[in-house]
Structure 1
Amino acid sequence: MPLYEHIFLARQDVSAAQVEALVEQYKGVIEAAGGSVRKVEPWGVKSLAYRIKKNRKAHFTLMNIDAPHAAVAEMERQMGISEDILRFMTIRVEAHEEGPSAMMQKRDRDDRRDRDGERGGFGGGNRFGDRERGPRRERNRDAEPQANASSEEN
């Protein structure tokens, strides 16, 4: 059977228990059509990039699904009807990731510093994001009037 990664966003005013109930409801739809849900990862409440149906935050949940297309289509149809679901997206994949998804992996600041270099940050520049430059050259101010004087003479 084909493998899918399915992510849905539930309204922010829905409780975590209600989100779990939604997951169980959609699991039932998949299993009734002969599929299975391999993994469910609740990512918690996160801020949205822009308002969706007057919501600034949403409960994010990832589901790894092994099911026929008809089962996924029925689940998406029911999600489209539900008022608690703001958005959803299903992607067909070749294989499911083992272990936690990228959103759930904890990255420590110390690990990033070791990876990025001594100072951390992006590109190893100074704390304001400027590139490292060589020694600053001082302009010879005495040379300018001579250059101007020589051009006036010609």
Structure 2
Amino acid sequence: MRRYETIVIVKPGAGETEFSTVSDKVTGTVEGFGGSIVRTDRWGLKKLAYPIKKETQGDFLYVEYAGLPDGVKEMERLLRIDDRVLKFMTVKTQDVFIPDAPKPEGLAGQETASADSDEASE
């Protein structure tokens, strides 16, 4: 699995139910393709830097998730044909992501050792 972040800008006049429908569509598609949602956040209504489809404001949705490329492709296809969505962008943040994986002990020991040596040198 890979880790992704997607930001969706929804039309401001869409209303609460329409916004939650778009949010459910995103999370449902990711989970339908075997992915898992890490975090969902509603950033609220913000002024856009330039008009998009004659709109000067947009309601922002941020979703961080782990999934397969096929799930991302399908989600973007659904967002592209949805009239409520002004714009969206997906960014791959990690190539290999294992949700809830324990941190290797060797790395944890190195971090504390380097922090201790930094404090000792001061």
1:64 and 2:55 aligned = no
Structure with the larger RCO, 1 or 2 (CA within 8 Å, 6+ apart): 2
Give structure 1 regions of 4+ aligned residues with deviation exceeding 4 angstroms: none
Task: Give the TM-score of the pair, scaled to structure 1.
Answer: 0.59
The AA in structure 2 aligned to 1:66 is A
Structure 1 or 2: more strand by fraction: 2
1:91 and 2:91 aligned = yes
Task: Look at both structures and tell me which one has the larger radius of gyration over its CA atoms.
Answer: 1
**RMSD in angstroms over aligned alpha carbons?**
1.1
Cα distance between partner residues in 2 of 1:24 and 1:38: 14
Structure 1 or 2: more helix by fraction: 2
Task: Give the TM-score of the pair, scaled to structure 2.
Answer: 0.74
Equivalent pairs: percent with the same residue? Answer: 31
Gaps (5+ residues) in structure 1? 96-154
SS at match of 1:46: strand
Q: Name the count of aligned residue pairs.
A: 95
- Any idea what the Cα deviations from partners look like across 1:38-65, whole Å, max 9, x if unmatched? 1110000000011100100000110001
Cα distance between partner residues in 2 of 1:78 and 1:25: 8
Gaps (5+ residues) in structure 2? 98-122
